[in-house]
């Protein structure tokens, strides 16, 4: 398991293209000596090579999104939305090139009071930008003009996630710390649907902890956990929806007991899906069946804060990256077999061979 260490706690990561990823994080406003930064890494080869860096000074960047067609990053930094450009020309010196600041826009509520940017994503082939604020509101911006198009304020609890349709359809999905998960029309700002999950425990309430579209938008994935969590009995659910039905129907489900799942990532051709736990474990699954391919125990010393796959058109080039507040970015190979499952299979084979030999010896003794 390769990767890199950085000089700040990492809060988010996103894939830029087939070989580059961007991550962000920091120590915040406290004068602790821990920097606040955005870094871009080249994933070619066995390790990660730092290609660009942007220092955010006194505020820690907490969320990041890459434009689907341009070398542009949108970063939430405290009350500001920062637009950074990855320039093609790099200076031929020993210093790491810096990202170019294109725009810094203070995001405000309808009351003109500044609010913290908690989530950000591009949608509609990068023609629109969506931000989530601390007042549970969703703002849809025209990009690159940054003219505010719509303001969605119907959520009853704190919005924690937003994801955009992967094929450019004017559609986003949001989830909250409560049990809400809504589908929205970006063109009108109107609600299209609400997802529901009943689970197996009577009268239990569940929250959509993380959400992602599949590569064509025909499928949708979500990590769902009980709002009232018990480490011994509660079940985490990774659910796959069919978006062609009305309402969206569940077609696959992966469950795990006693371990709260959190982050979620889908490979660009929807071959793999990855999730993680608050214990630092990483799970890699087959996206079609949701069958477990590999588990990485204690990939991080703290809870995982982000997952992403490097984009690729061939299965053998995929890499999964995981980040954490432990300042580590780890690279995982989705194709490696789970060593625990391999060991179990080997033990079963040995038991079978042992029983066969024992029966053969008995037959020889009797004969």
Mean pLDDT value of segment 39-48: 88
Residue 272: CA atoms inside 13 Å, Cβ hemisphere, count? 30
At 8, is the pLDDT very low, low, confident or very high (cuts 50, 70, 90)? Answer: very high
At 346, is the pLDDT very low, low, confident or very high (cuts 50, 70, 90)? Answer: very low
Distance between CA atoms of residues 327 and 7, nearest Å: 7
Residue 42 near residue 49, CB atoms below 8 Å: yes
User: Comparing C-alpha atoms, which of 18, 14, 68, 61 is closest to residue 36?
Assistant: 61
Mean pLDDT value of segment 128-152: 90
pLDDT of residue 111: 45
Mean pLDDT value of segment 143-168: 92
CA 101 to chain CA centroid, nearest Å? 25
List the structure tokens of 314. Answer: 């061939």
159-164 vs 328-332, strand pairing mode: unpaired
At 337, is the pLDDT very low, low, confident or very high (cuts 50, 70, 90)? Answer: low
Residue 151 near residue 167, CB atoms below 8 Å: no
């Amino acid at each position: 398991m390769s990767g890199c260490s950085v000089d700040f706690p990492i809060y988010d990561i996103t894939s830029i293209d087939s070989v580059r990823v961007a991550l962000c994080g920091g120590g915040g406003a406290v004068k602790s000596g821990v920097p606040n930064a955005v870094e871009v890494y080249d994933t070619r080869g066995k390790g990660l090579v730092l290609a660009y860096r942007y220092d955010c000074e006194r505020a820690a960047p907490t969320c990041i999104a890459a434009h689907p067609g341009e070398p542009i990053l949108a970063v939430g930094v405290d009350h500001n939305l920062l637009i950074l450009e990855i320039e093609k020309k790099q200076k031929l010196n020993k210093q790491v090139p810096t990202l170019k600041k294109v725009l810094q826009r203070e995001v405000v509520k309808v009351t003109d009071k500044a609010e913290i940017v908690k989530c950000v994503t591009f949608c509609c082939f990068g023609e629109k930008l969506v931000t989530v604020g601390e007042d549970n509101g969703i703002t849809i911006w025209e990009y690159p003009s940054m003219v505010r198009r719509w303001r969605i304020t119907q959520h009853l609890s704190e919005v924690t996630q937003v994801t955009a349709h992967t094929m450019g359809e004017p559609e986003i999905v949001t989830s909250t710390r409560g049990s809400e998960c809504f589908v929205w029309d970006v063109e009108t700002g109107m609600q299209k649907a609400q997802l529901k999950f009943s689970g197996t425990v009577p009268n239990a309430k569940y929250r959509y902890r993380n959400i992602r579209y599949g590569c064509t938008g025909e499928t949708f994935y979500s990590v769902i956990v009980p709002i009232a969590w018990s480490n011994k009995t509660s079940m985490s659910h990774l659910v796959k929806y069919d978006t062609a039905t009305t309402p969206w129907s569940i077609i696959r489900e992966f469950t795990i007991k006693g371990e709260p799942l959190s982050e979620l990532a889908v490979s660009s051709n929807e071959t793999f899906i990855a999730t993680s736990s608050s214990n630092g474990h990483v799970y890699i699954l087959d996206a079609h069946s949701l069958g477990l391919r590999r588990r990485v125990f204690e990939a991080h010393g703290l809870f995982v804060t982000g997952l992403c796959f490097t984009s690729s058109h061939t299965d053998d080039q995929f890499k999964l990256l995981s980040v954490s507040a432990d300042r580590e970015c780890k690279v995982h190979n989705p194709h490696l077999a789970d060593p625990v499952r391999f060991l179990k299979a080997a033990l079963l084979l040995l038991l079978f061979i042992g029983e066969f030999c024992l029966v053969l010896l008995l037959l020889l003794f009797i004969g």
